[in-house]
Amino acid sequence: MYKILMVCHGNICRSPMAEFVLRDMLKKRGIDGVEVASAATSTEEIGNGVHHGTKAILHSLGIDCSFKRARQMTKADYREYDLLLGADSRNIINMNRIAGGDSEGKIKRLLNFTIRPRDISDPWYTGDFDTTYADVKEGCEALLDWLYQQGIIS
């Protein structure tokens, strides 16, 4: 089982969107053997559900996220997951702090897999969940291509 952890600041907007979009892509392609979860770098939203803006986007795609509750990334997650993908550069700094470094090169930004590496737009500040979804979708599609190229999925 190949395990991927999506990470953002609060685990209520970008990382759960990435988690559920990637899960949906894997399911629709009939790909087994990949587990996807998400977490936060902060403690601010622990236990809270997915933000209504993310929930609305996912609902429009027929994806249920009602059971998701925010949790914080732990040092143990670094050992448990094969890839830990941050939404932005600040997340990467905090993920490295939580993990105690990245000796195995597992911590990356999701959009680094695209031809246009950048941070995922943060709808907490912009209110623009459509742009965030476009970023997440682009990143997840590029990640799937990379997983195929690496022979992790077929």
The beta strands (E) that lie in the chain are given as 2-8, 34-40, 83-86, 107-109
pLDDT tens figures, 90-149: 999 999 999 999 999 999 999 999 999 999 999 999 999 999 999 999 999 999 999 999
pLDDT tens figures, 20-48: 999 999 999 999 999 999 999 999 999 99
Domain limits of the chain?
2-149
CA distance 29 to 83: 20
Residues labelled catalytic: 8, 14, 122
Q: How far separated are the first and last CA of the chain, in Å rounded?
A: 13
Is CATH 3.40.50.2300 what the domain over 2-149 is classified as, yes or no?
A: yes
Q: Are 29 and 61 in contact (CB under 8 A)?
A: no
